[in-house]
Structures are given as structure tokens and as C-alpha cells.
A and B are shown apart, each in its own frame.
Chain A
Amino acid sequence: MRTTVCLSIVILAGTGGELLAAHAMKQSARLQVISGSAVGTLLQRAFRLGPMWVGLMLQALAFFTFLALLSWADVSFVVPATALNYVVGAAGSALFLREHVDRTRWAGVLLVCVGVAVICASEL
């Protein structure tokens, strides 16, 4: 139970954090269109947005939960399982960022997920 909860936190908080950072960057890029400013300003604006900081905190939470999880769970289970990030990332992109994830992209995401899991499992 403890392992399932922590693994869910690692996957959901890690991917959620990345999705929020992506959301902040897209918002910042929309502002950039008005002024046409450089990459530095794009980043500066993104870091002024709440979702970016919440995203960074979620990624930190995912990282420390991952470290804690490794203290009792088998690394041969934990590391390949985190490849589920790609599936959660695609689902989150479709749900929250309103991206169009078609069947071809889903097939690609699933293949990448399997490939990462196989590589991670073979390295342990």
C-alpha cells in the first residue's frame, strides 16, 4: 500500500510538475508574441507565473518521494515503473493542455514507455 501510494506520488507529481511548467511556458510564449522579446524574457515571465513554481515544487516532491521509495522498495521495480510517466504525460497533455493526442501518438508513447521500462529493467 505504502509503495503504491509513493509510486503514484512520484509519477503524478513528477509529470504534473512538468505539465504545469509546460503550461507556464506556453502562457509566457503567448505574452512574448505581443512584445517579440528574447528567450531570457520568455523564461523571466514564466518564472513570474504561479504554475511554474507549483510545478517546480511538485517535481521536488516527486524527487524526494522517489528517494524515500528507494529506501524500502526494490529498484528493479521502481525505476521501470516510472516509465508510466510517458502515459500519464500524454493523458495530462490531452486533458489539461488540450493537446490533440491521436492514435499514432498514443502508439508511439506506449512504445517509448515499453522501451524505457525494458532498458531500465535490463540495467538493474
Chain B
Amino acid sequence: MLQAYVMNDSKKPSLGTALLLALTIVLSAGGNFLLSSGMKQVGSVEASPLLAVVRAIGHAIGRAEIRVGILALLLWFICSLVVFSRIDFSYAQPASAVGYALVAFLGYAVLGEAVTAARWVGIGCICAGVTLIGRTPPRTTA
């Protein structure tokens, strides 16, 4: 099993790796979405004075949304590292860009944000790009 783990020359990543990659995308999109949503409720943070910035950060960290967002991004970082150990960086890095599309979709579906034509074009390009990358072997090194 470990041999198969290292020398995975198949056209598709293993189920475990695919799930881990999907998890990194969801954690990144979800974490950024929660941070963005939480910070919008905290309000605009002025760059000065320093004490006001520290108070605003303290207030932000006190919010459950922000804490869950930070936890999600921490888990995203760990999962990304594990993904990098399993498949090519040139496969995993662009594939994770699906998160941009997911955030745009979450904004549209959950927050009722307007999605412009340009944004749909961007989402289309990312999906087409990721589909092309998905047609290449996930691991090309021993």
C-alpha cells in the first residue's frame, strides 16, 4: 500500500488524496468566507491609533465566526502540506483555485451577492483550467 502511495502514476489521484484536496478547497473557501463575514460585522478597522487596531482585533477574535474561520485556515494549511507530499505541486496549487469559484458561489447563494458577468467568466476559466489539469497525472515524480 505504501508503495502504491509513493508511485502513483495513474491518471487520477487516489480517493483519499482527492478527498483531502477537496477538503483543502472547502476549508480555504469556508475559512475566508467566515473571516470576511465576521470582519464585516466588526466594521472597518482604522490603521491608527495602534490601540484602536489592537482593540478591533481583540473584538474580532472574540467572535465565534472569526475563531472558526481561523481554525479552518489552520486546518487548511496542514491539509495542504499533506496534499503536497502526495501529489505534484503543479497539480495541487492550480486545482485549489476552485476555492475562488466556491467563494463567489457562496456569496451568491448564501449572502445574496450579485455575481457579475465578468465573475462568471472568471469562474468558467478556473473550472475549465482545473478540468484540463485533472486530465494530467497527479504525480509525475517518484
Least CB distance from B116 to A in Å reads 5
Interface residues of B (CB under 8 A from A): 2-3, 5-6, 78, 81-82, 84-86, 88-91, 93-94, 97, 100-101, 104, 116, 118-119, 121-137, 140-141
Sorted from nearest, which 4 A-B pairs have the closest CB atoms?
A115-B125, A111-B129, A108-B132, A118-B122
Contact assessment for A25 and B85 in the assembled complex, using a CB-CB cutoff below 8 Å: yes
Looking at A98, A99, A105, A115, which has the most chain B CB atoms within 10 Å of its CB?
A115
Q: How far is the CA of A98 from the CA of B135 in the complex (A)?
A: 19
In the bound complex, residues from chain B placing their C-beta under 8 Å from that of A121 are 118
Contact assessment for B132 and A107 in the assembled complex, using a CB-CB cutoff below 8 Å: yes
- Knowing A42-B82, A43-B81, A118-B125, the reply to whether A109 touches B88 (Cβ < 8 A) is no
Please give 12 more A-B residue pairs, beta carbons under 8 A apart, in addition to A25-B84, A112-B130.
Answer: A19-B89, A26-B85, A32-B2, A36-B2, A99-B89, A101-B90, A102-B136, A108-B134, A108-B135, A111-B132, A113-B129, A119-B104
Contact assessment for A99 and B90 in the assembled complex, using a CB-CB cutoff below 8 Å: yes
